């Protein structure tokens, strides 16, 4: 099966399975799982943040971060199409009693700083009592496969702090951003007070995200993790997969980026399609409505999967080779050649 629906569909490699099978474990709720502790120490060192905390998912990691930065009745500023606002079940509002203030993003995924400034509410006696208290700016990198310009990130974070806000990163694919930009993950995260990093996407672990920040922040997040049901026991088996991924699968993300560029170039030769490629592992297609479902079914019958939630988004990953890319492009071309007859 050539599965381009997402980079979440990867399967553990033999080396990763071996690392999981020999992991030393304890009880992470008690804080004595040595492999979880090693993962957290590794991530703190890699990101140059004081502390780290292992979570079952990026969604839960982001939610715990928002709840650690904000109190009930506070608000956070976020992109209109950001994952924490649009794709995580409304958890900040429903479970955290945190009001999101979404702002339409620019085409590169940035939130214009002048719009951030306009969205920050006054707080205090008088008029300020009418508003939720603005506490946090949340950015996302990558966003739709796009790498946020680092200078923008620095400028936005500096401005946010000048207004008393903290800054959080939804870094589900931050390692893709680091590899594509040539920055280290520590350099990429330097402007942020906290960041949630998925290990279960391009890095290939079956489960897991890590939240990083200062020690007091991570202590608050650990309490919210327990309350949200994320306290796991012998989770060192999962942490071992994450450690293996961090030690073996970061630099190879460049292969996924190259495959995405190859995919975009090949599909760009099909006149019926409009192809938008980014610098990382995501390719978007505009497929004519009349062909969307038939194309999806045609590919499925040939052992190839794509999904149309975002019109059509194709994502490369470690289970997709260059030969798979060529086979997928050839199948799409076959479909449209047949449709033309």
Question: Within a 13 Å sphere around the CA of 85, how many CA atoms are in the beta-carbon half?
Answer: 21
Tell me, what's the pLDDT at 311?
66
Spell out, as residue ranges, where the chain has pLDDT lower than 50: none
Tell me, what's the pLDDT at 70?
98
Tell me, what's the pLDDT at 339?
73
Asked whether 43 and 243 are in contact (CB, 8 A), the reply is no
pLDDT in tens, 15-62: 999 999 999 999 999 999 999 999 999 999 999 999 999 999 999 999
Tell me, what's the pLDDT at 124?
82
* Both structure tokens of 1: 């099966």
pTM for this predicted structure:
0.95
Tell me, what's the pLDDT at 341?
60
Give the contacts of 148 (CB within 8 A, at least 6 positions apart): 108, 109, 110, 139, 140, 141, 142, 177
pLDDT in tens, 58-94: 999 999 999 999 999 999 999 999 999 999 999 999 9
Which letter does DSSP use for residue 171 in this model?
A: E
Before 114, cis peptide (omega within 30)? Answer: no
Q: Where are the beta strands (DSSP E) in the chain?
A: 2-3, 51-55, 74-79, 99-103, 133-140, 166-171, 194-198, 209-213, 274-277, 282-286, 304-305, 313-315
Asked whether 275 and 283 are in contact (CB, 8 A), the reply is yes
Tell me, what's the pLDDT at 128?
78
Question: Within a 13 Å sphere around the CA of 71, how many CA atoms are in the beta-carbon half?
Answer: 2
């Amino acid at each position: 099966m050539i599965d381009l629906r997402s980079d979440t569909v990867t399967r553990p490699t033999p080396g990763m399975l071996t690392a999981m099978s020999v992991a030393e474990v304890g009880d992470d709720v008690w804080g004595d799982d040595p492999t979880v502790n090693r993962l957290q120490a590794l991530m703190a060192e890699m990101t140059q943040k004081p502390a780290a905390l292992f979570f079952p998912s990026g969604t839960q990691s982001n939610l715990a971060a928002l709840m650690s930065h904000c109190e009930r009745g506070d608000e956070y500023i976020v992109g209109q199409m950001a994952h924490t606002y649009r794709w995580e079940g409304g958890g900040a509002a429903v479970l955290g009693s945190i009001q999101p203030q979404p702002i339409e993003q620019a085409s590169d995924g940035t939130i214009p700083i002048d719009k951030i400034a306009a969205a920050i509410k006054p707080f205090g006696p008088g008029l300020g009592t009418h508003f939720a208290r603005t506490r946090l700016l949340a950015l996302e990198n990558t966003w739709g496969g796009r790498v946020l310009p680092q200078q923008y990130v620095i400028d936005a974070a500096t401005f946010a702090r000048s207004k008393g806000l903290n800054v959080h990163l939804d870094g589900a694919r931050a390692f893709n951003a680091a590899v594509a930009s040539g920055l280290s993950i520590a350099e990429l995260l330097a402007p942020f007070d906290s960041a949630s990093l998925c290990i279960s996407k391009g890095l290939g672990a079956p489960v897991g995200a890590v939240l990083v920040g200062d020690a007091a922040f991570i202590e608050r997040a650990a309490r919210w993790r327990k309350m949200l049901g994320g306290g796991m026991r012998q989770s060192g088996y999962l942490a071992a997969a994450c450690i293996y991924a961090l030690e073996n699968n970061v630099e190879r993300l460049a292969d996924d980026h190259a495959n995405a560029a190859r995919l975009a170039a090949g599909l760009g030769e099909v006149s019926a399609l409009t192809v938008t490629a980014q610098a990382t592992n995501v390719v978007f297609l505009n497929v004519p409505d009349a062909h969307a479902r038939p194309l999806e079914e045609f590919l499925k019958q040939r052992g190839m999967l794509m999904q149309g939630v975002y019109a059509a988004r194709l994502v490369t990953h470690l289970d997709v080779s260059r030969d798979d890319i060529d086979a997928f492009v050839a199948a799409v071309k076959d479909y449209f050649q047949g449709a033309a007859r």
